[in-house]
Structure formats: structure tokens, C-alpha cells
């Protein structure tokens, strides 16, 4: 989980989502997860994946998520510098989300994936 200075969630316009330079000055700065927290989140995510019967999102949604990551200023190689996840793997998981809300939400009723 990502921690924000001063608040626990953020809200941005579509313009701000597309253009990081358009982000307002008062927007909280995302803080990267600590390694222990990232490891715990990975273990919890893996448990949910196994419990779901290894279900994944469909290819088009995975590609949509990856498009956001490829254009993201927080991507370092294949890893998100905020959640420390390997985004190409994480983007397959229906129950996962982008730490700053850039991924399209997956319908709750379908969170089990295909
Ligand atoms: S998960 Fe979100 S914050 Fe991380 S690299 Fe992808 S779009 Fe950026």
C-alpha cells in the first residue's frame, strides 16, 4: 500500500492523469512502499491469486493497464517504483490496482477474472 503525505487517497482530473506536469502543486507526493510492506503485500496478493483459482484479467485489459505503466513516470525498468511490483505480472491480477489510480477499475462482480 502506498502512503501519502497528509492524506490516504487522491483525486485527480483526467488531464492530470494523462499529463503529470499538469498535477497540482497541492497534490500529495506518493511515497514508495517499504520493502517489508511490499513483501507482505506480495504474499497477500499471491494468496488471493491462489484462492481465486489462478484467475487473471483478459488480454485487452492487461494491455490497457500496461499502456498506463509504460507511460508512467514511476516505472523503473519492469518495476513500479511505488508498489515495487513487476507490473507485467501484477497487471494480470483482477484484484490488484495501480497505487495512484491509473488503471481502469475491474468490475467488482468479475474480480475473479476469467
Ligand atoms: S502501477 Fe501505476 S504507478 Fe506503478 S508504474 Fe503502473 S501506472 Fe505507474
Q: How far is CA 54 from CA 15, 21, 42, 43, 47, in A?
A: 35, 38, 15, 14, 10
How many C-beta neighbours within 10 Å does residue 105 have?
9
Give the integer Cα–Cα distance in Å for 80 and 87. Answer: 6
- Ranges assigned E (strand) in 1-114: 3-4, 30-31, 75-76, 79-80
Q: Tell how far the Cα of 92 is from the centroid of ligand 1, in angstroms.
A: 13
Cell numbers standing for residue 109: 462482480
pLDDT at 27: 59
Q: What average pLDDT values come out for the chain (114 residues) when binned by 10 residues?
A: 40 46 60 87 92 94 96 95 94 93 70 47
pLDDT at 107: 61
For a mutational test of ligand 1's pocket, the pick from 69, 79, 104, i.e. the residue with the most ligand atoms closer than 8 A to its C-beta, is 69
Look up the pTM and report it: 0.70
Q: Tell how far the Cα of 52 is from the centroid of ligand 1, in angstroms.
A: 23
Q: Ligand 1 atom 4: the closest Cα is on which residue?
A: 80
Q: Is the CB of 55 under 6 A from ligand 1?
A: no
From 73, 60, 56, 59, select the one nearest 17 (Cα to Cα).
73
pLDDT at 38: 87
Amino acid at each position: 500500500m502506498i502512503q501519502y503525505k497528509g492524506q490516504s487517497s487522491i483525486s485527480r482530473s483526467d488531464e492530470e492523469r494523462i499529463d503529470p506536469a499538469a498535477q497540482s502543486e497541492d497534490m500529495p507526493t506518493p511515497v514508495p512502499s517499504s520493502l517489508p510492506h511490499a513483501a507482505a503485500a506480495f504474499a497477500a496478493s499471491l494468496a488471493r491469486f491462489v484462492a481465486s483459482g489462478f484467475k487473471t484479467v483478459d488480454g485487452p485489459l492487461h494491455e490497457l493497464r500496461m499502456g498506463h505503466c509504460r507511460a508512467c513516470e514511476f516505472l523503473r525498468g519492469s518495476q513500479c517504483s511505488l508498489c515495487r511490483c513487476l507490473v507485467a505480472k501484477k497487471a494480470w491480477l483482477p484484484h490488484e490496482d495501480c497505487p495512484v489510480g491509473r488503471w481502469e477499475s475491474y468490475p467488482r462482480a468479475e474480480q475473479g477474472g476469467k
